[in-house]
Amino acid sequence: MKFFLDTANVAEIREAMSMGMVDGITTNPTLIAKEEREFREIIEDICAIVDGPISAEVIRTDADGMIQEARELAGIHENIVVKIPMLVDGLKAVRQLTAEGIKTNVTLIFSALQALMAAKAGATFVSPFVGRLDDLSQDGLVLVEQIVEIYSNYAFDTEIIVASVRNPLHVLDSALMGADIATIPFGVLKKLAAHPMTDKGLKAFLDDWDKAKK
Ligand code: G3P
């Protein structure tokens, strides 16, 4: 399973890179806005740090406008993947961008049929938002399971990025289902490595070692 980091914060990215656990980055307009910096500068900084897919989202919602923005974003760096919202105009844009060789990540996916259409349009990645479905008392991981099955049934090349990850279980269950990628907030990434029994066991080892040396 590939781990992408779901952030536009360069300090978080550097820290996660030092862990050797970053295969790519996803951003969105909200994450960009939090940094209070120029959009293009943030994306350029991230491209200089991470050698993997970097998702940057368009703002326009009309097909022509999305295509124009996507071309500009793709021109920043070869690793740029353009995030396109799951709209009919988004599908039109994805078809055109795919024909031009520009990679796309269809985002704000909340149904398996949306994911099916995005794959048919040629999307490089799709981003089902599991946490936001959970927030509505719907099981977001059921969506992931459905997409994995549909993509397997028809041998789509589109890769599934499990997004809106809220906790380690989202990552675990997505991996058990065979999702390609999880895009993980930095706080959740740090939790994946931790277990209280590991800490307890290590302390006991070191205490016993110290006792034996006395
Ligand atoms: O960046 C895409 C997605 O992971 C954001 O989800 O629910 O944390 O805003 P959320």
How confident is the model at residue 197, as a pLDDT? 98
Pair 64, 96: CB distance under 8 Å: no
Torsion angle defined by CA atoms of residues 125, 131, 136 and 142, in that order, rounded to the nearest 10 degrees:
60
Q: Which 3 state secondary structure label does DSSP give 207?
A: helix
Q: Which residue bears the tokens 């809220």?
A: 166
CB 44 within 8 A of CB 73: no
- Return the domain boundaries, the chain: 2-213
What is the distance between the alpha carbons of residues 208 and 89, in angstroms, rounded to a whole number?
A: 65
Vertex 174, ends 126 and 168: CA angle to 5°? Answer: 115
Question: Measured in angstroms, how far is the CA atom of residue 202 from the centroid of ligand 1?
Answer: 35
Give the dihedral of Cα atoms 92, 98, 151, 105; nearest 10 deg: -80
For 90, other C-beta atoms within 10 Å of its C-beta total 26
Which of 32, 135, 164 to mutate for ligand 1's pocket (most ligand atoms within 8 Å of CB)? Answer: 164
Residue ranges for the chain with pLDDT beneath 70:
none
Place of tokens 């070869």: 78
Q: Give distance in angstroms: CA of 164 to centre of ligand 1.
A: 4
pLDDT of residue 170: 98
Asked if 84 and 103 touch (Cβ cutoff 8 Å), the reply is: no
In the block, which residue shows the tokens 């398996």? 112
| DSSP states of 94-148 | HHHHHHTT--EEEEEE-SHHHHHHHHHHT-SEEEEBHHHHHTTTS-HHHHHHHHH
Residue 57 in contact with ligand 1 by CB distance below 6 A = no
Nearest CA to ligand 1 atom 8: 164
The pLDDT, as a whole number, for residue 214 is 81
Task: Using the atom order of ligand 1, give the atom closest to the CA of residue 163.
Answer: 4
Hey, whose CA ends up nearest to atom 9 of ligand 1? Answer: 164
**Confidence (pLDDT) at 177:** 97
Question: Pocket of ligand 1, candidates 4, 110, 132, 184: which has the most ligand atoms within 8 Å of its Cβ, to mutate?
Answer: 132
Superfamily in which the 2-213 domain is placed by CATH: Aldolase class I (3.20.20.70)
SS3 16: helix
